[in-house]
Amino acid sequence: MAVFATADAPLRARQVCESMDMEIAPNNINNTRLKLKRLPERGIPVETEQGLFTQPRP
C-alpha cells in the first residue's frame, strides 16, 4: 500500500507494477489488476473509476 501513499493521483495496474519494479508483462499486469479489484471489498484501495485505484482519504 506504500505505492498508493506516495501517489499523487489514482493508479492503474500497470503503474502499480512499475512502482513495485515488477516485469511489465501482460500476465503480471492482469494478476495485479485482479488483486486490486478484490481489495476494495476490504476498503483498500478504492476504485475511483474503472481501472483507477487510490488509497482512501480520511
pLDDT at position 52: 87
Query: Residue-wise pLDDT tens for the chain (58 aa)?
Result: 678 878 888 889 999 999 889 999 999 999 999 988 888 777 778 888 888 888 876 6
Q: Residue 16, SS3?
A: helix
In this structure, how many other beta carbons lie within 10 angstroms of the beta carbon of residue 11?
21
Q: Domain tally for the chain?
A: 1
Global pTM reads 0.79
Question: Which residue range(s) make up the domain with 16?
Answer: 2-54
Contact 50, 40 (CB under 8 A): no
Burial of 19 (0-12, 13-18, 19+ CB in 10 A): middle
pLDDT at position 38: 86
